[in-house]
Amino acid sequence: MNVIGWALAGAGVLAGLGVLAAVVAPRRTRPAYVGAATAGIGVAGLVMGVAALSGQAFQARLPGLLPLAGVRIEVDPLGGWFLAVTGGVLAAAALYGIGYAGGGHGPSGRGVQAALPVFAISMLLVPAAASVSTLLVWWELMALTSLLLILAEHRGRPAVAQAGWWYAALTQVGFVAILLGLLLYAAHAGGDSFADLRAAHLSPALRGVVFVLVLAGFGAKAGLVPLHVWLPRAHAEAPSPVSAMLSAAMVNLGVYGVVRVGFDLLGGGSRWWWVLVLAFGAISALYGILQAAVAADVKRLLAYSTVENMGLVFLSLGAAGIFRAAGAPVLAGLALAAALLHVLNHAAFKALLFTAAGSVLRATGTRDLDALGGLRSRMPATTVLFAIGALCAAALPPGNGFVSEWLLLQSLVHALPAGGVVTAVAMPLAVAVVALTAGLAVATFVKALGVGFFARARSEAAGAAQESPPMMLAAMGVLAAVCAGLALAPAALGPALSRAVTAATRAPAGVVGGGVSLRLAGIASTLSPLLIAVAVVVATAGTAVLLRLAARRVTRRRSVALWACGAGPPTARMQYTAASFAQPLQRVFDDVLAPETDVDVTPYAESQYLVARVAYQARVSDRVEDALYVPVIAAARRLGRLGPVLANGSVHRYLAYGFFGVTGLLLVLAVTR
């Protein structure tokens, strides 16, 4: 029983205590206790992950805990990577949640509070599961508790209930897919522990079926288009600390599932799987960021950006699989490392962004960018923190998002020698997709920061906003520090990353290394984010000093009224809004987004040429949803109408169903025998 074991046990105990506190503690102090317990669970997860990444291993079997198969726990570097990410996010988000709940904000009901620690530990147990049944149990537990958390505020807003429905439906569909896939796999493997699965020899067709089913299931959790529709709803409507946990931690487990099954258990498999993954990743990245670019609700924007980032991760996974199938293990290792690193980076900055957005929501009561603005002066700390997150999310140097996208691009750009028509055609397209995604991400987060936080307040609520309590700021500060560390010293992660990659693909270790500057295996490109950041800071400061010296005699900086072409000072309503900022992009991508705009002009009664009022409405709905889901739902409705016909309440009819059922079954048996 080593560190990992103790940490796991501690997490279990803390979860129990958390549930207990949620039940017995008075409403006022309940969130503090539960939050503390959850944070403790997160720390435990972090410890487990770091220990696993530093080379420790842990295995356990608890036959009694589950009927039939029993529980198998095993923590390897791959699982450790996700444990560390999840644990870190949980700890920070839970601390933030304690502060968030102060002053009666956020949910404090018994059920919700009790669900929180259970959700936390189930997220830790999923990457630690070492058998199909164990994995499925924790997975379902995670799904149910997360559903409870999403529905926390359903009394307040009807949209929450709707989001809950979507989430419940899609997550259950996903679960069924995973269930089918893994049970099929286990049935042919003759055992449900991962060791048995690794050893199993399946026919290629069967392996393909298993992989597609599993991809669909885990893809739904990771918000892969077209299974993403629940994500922008649920992540936007959930309480902000929960949003951070969902968007920064839970989606990653979808990635974990695909890596575990696709690379580790199925051992790479054939190329078309990964072309599929690459294609869906590319589509998700582009579609997600396009929707984010035109979104005016800040949390919806962040949720769509999660779809984008998961798309990028799956794109790198696809590339890794293709390289592996093409017999280029080093490149495969690089691409997979890029995927894992991006999971970590995305978790860091997305948690920061969601918590910052939560602070804004808490302070102003609105998520609508067009009603915000001017927070720079009202909430300076939150603005700076959001700016850091935005820099990272926009994948600009020096930000941590840039590092992982750099790694991904390196693996894509140098793939041409890896040969094969598929790589030759797919890689340039992949590079183009990544590039366009990055560009749109820049535009998106400039919009979020510039419209939401800078300039002048567009509503009284934004004008009267107050800075968040220190607890929340501390949690966000920790996340920002993590972002900075990841951005400036990514090479420090080299060994851990290599271990995780090796655990997943048995690729040669040491794909990523170097000290101050990042060095890659097999590629001569180097990057030193730290030096870049230092250089930029030094150059900027030097410029400022030189300017002081050069402009000594200058009459000092004078403050003036805004220039409005000679008209009076412009009002806050004359500012650019999120909608107007995104309008050119929306128009360029008209064919993809298909925005609905309607202008109705109401003239005066006297003359139709005198315009009394012009109303302009524009909304961008999710096209995938309209095209794919609305018909399905309609069909389900029609099917539902058959119900009354079959079940009209007469007892005789029900008994008759039973009778005919039994006799029919007997008949079938008699015939088939």
Partner 1 sequence: MAVFKLWRKIRRTGRTAEPAPPRPAGSSCPKAAALSGSVQVRHVDAGSCNGCEIEIGSAFGPVYDAERYGARLVASPRHADALLVTGPVTRNMAAALRRTFEAVSEPRIVVAIGDCAIDAGEFAGGYGVQGPVADVVPVDVQVPGCPPEPAAIVAALRGLTGR
Partner 2 sequence: MTDTSYPLYLDLAAGLFLLTAVGVLWRHQLAAMIRLFALQGAALAAIVAILGVHQHSLELILVALGLGVLRAGILPYLAARALGDSAAEARETRPVVNVAASLLAAAALTLLAYAVTQPLVALAPSPATAILPAAVAVVLIGFFTLVTRRRALSQVVGFLLLDNGITATAFLAAAGVPLIVELGVSFDLLLVVLVLQVLTTRLRTAFGSSDLDELRELHD
Partner 3 sequence: MNRTASICAAVQVVVVVAGAPLLVGLMRQVRARLEGRAGAGISQPWRDLRKLLRRAPATPTGTGWAFRLAPLLLVGTSLVLAAVVPLLTTASPLNHTADLFAVVGLLALGTVTLALAALDTGTAFGGMGASREMTILALVEPTILVAVLALSARVGSTNLAEIVTTTLNDPLRVASPASLLAAAALLIVVVAETGRLPVDNPATHLELTMIHEAMILEYAGSDLALVELAASMRLTILLGLLTSLFLPWGIAGASLAALPLALAAFGVKVAILGIGLGAAEVFIAKLRLFRVPELLAGSFVLAVLAVASSFFLA
Query: Which residue reads 């017995």 in tokens?
Result: 24
Q: Is 208 in the site for partner 3 (CB under 8 A)?
A: no
Mention every residue, 6+ apart, whose C-beta is less than 8 A from residue 523: 334, 410, 411, 414
CA distance 366 to 575: 18
For partner 2, what does the binding mask look like between residues 578 and 597, x meaning CB under 8 A?
Answer: -------------x------
**Token pair of 596 as six digits:** 């609905």
- Report how far apart, in Å, the C-alpha atoms of 313 and of each of 343, 397, 434 are: 7, 19, 11
CA nearest 124: which of 185, 155, 81, 70? 81
Comparison of 206 and 425: residue with beta carbon closer to partner 2 = 425
Q: Is 435 in the site for partner 2 (CB under 8 A)?
A: no
Binding to partner 2 in span 61-100, by CB under 8 A: none
Q: Is 489 in the site for partner 3 (CB under 8 A)?
A: no
CA distance 58 to 74: 6
Comparison of 252 and 528: residue with beta carbon closer to partner 3 = 528
Q: Is 446 in the site for partner 3 (CB under 8 A)?
A: yes
Q: Is 539 in the site for partner 3 (CB under 8 A)?
A: yes
Binding to partner 2 in span 203-222, by CB under 8 A: none
Q: Is 560 in the site for partner 1 (CB under 8 A)?
A: yes
- Report how far apart, in Å, the C-alpha atoms of 397 and of each of 174, 481, 485, 490, 628 are: 37, 16, 13, 13, 38
Beta carbons of 397 and 529 less than 8 angstroms apart: yes
Mention every residue, 6+ apart, whose C-beta is less than 8 A from residue 85: 49, 249, 252, 343, 344, 347
The distance of closest approach from Cβ of residue 562 to partner 1 in the complex, given in angstroms and rounded to an integer, is: 9
CA distance 256 to 591: 34
Q: Is 563 in the site for partner 1 (CB under 8 A)?
A: yes
Q: Is 636 in the site for partner 3 (CB under 8 A)?
A: no
**# binding residues, partner 1 (CB under 8 A):** 9
Mention every residue, 6+ apart, whose C-beta is less than 8 A from residue 503: 76, 77, 78, 264
**Token pair of 624 as six digits:** 């995938």
**# binding residues, partner 3 (CB under 8 A):** 87
Please give the single-letter amino acid code of residue 19. V
Query: Which residue reads 């009076």 in tokens?
Result: 568
Helix (H) or strand (E) holding 611: strand 611-619
The distance of closest approach from Cβ of residue 575 to partner 3 in the complex, given in angstroms and rounded to an integer, is: 5
Contact pick of 197, 250, 317, 409 for partner 3 (by CB under 8 A): 409
Q: If contact means CB under 5 to 8 A according to the sort of partner, which of partner 2, partner 3, partner 1, none does residue 591 touch?
A: partner 2
CA dihedral 486, 234, 83, 484 (to 10 degrees): 10
**Token pair of 99 as six digits:** 């502060």
For residue 206, the tally of other CB atoms under 10 A from its CB is 13
Beta carbons of 287 and 225 less than 8 angstroms apart: yes
For partner 3, what does the binding mask look like between residues 352 and 381, x meaning CB under 8 A?
Answer: ---------------------xx-xx----
Q: Is 609 in the site for partner 1 (CB under 8 A)?
A: no
Contact pick of 36, 173, 422, 436 for partner 3 (by CB under 8 A): 436
Comparison of 424 and 630: residue with beta carbon closer to partner 2 = 424
**Token pair of 422 as six digits:** 């598929």
Contact pick of 9, 187, 429, 636 for partner 2 (by CB under 8 A): 429
CA distance 121 to 83: 10
**# binding residues, partner 2 (CB under 8 A):** 6
Contact region for partner 1 (CB under 8 A) — 194-202, 398-406, 499-507, 558-566? 558-566
Contact region for partner 1 (CB under 8 A) — 24-32, 408-416, 508-516, 552-560? 552-560
Beta carbons of 358 and 241 less than 8 angstroms apart: yes
Contact pick of 567, 642, 651, 671 for partner 1 (by CB under 8 A): 567
For partner 3, what does the binding mask look like between residues 377 and 406, x meaning CB under 8 A?
Answer: x----------------xxxx----x---x
The distance of closest approach from Cβ of residue 565 to partner 1 in the complex, given in angstroms and rounded to an integer, is: 8
What's the alpha-carbon Rg for the chain, to the nearest Å?
A: 27
The distance of closest approach from Cβ of residue 646 to partner 2 in the complex, given in angstroms and rounded to an integer, is: 50
Contact region for partner 2 (CB under 8 A) — 149-157, 259-267, 393-401, 418-426? 418-426
What residue ranges bind partner 2 (CB under 8 A)? 421, 424-425, 428-429, 591
What residue ranges bind partner 1 (CB under 8 A)? 555, 558, 560-561, 563-564, 566-568
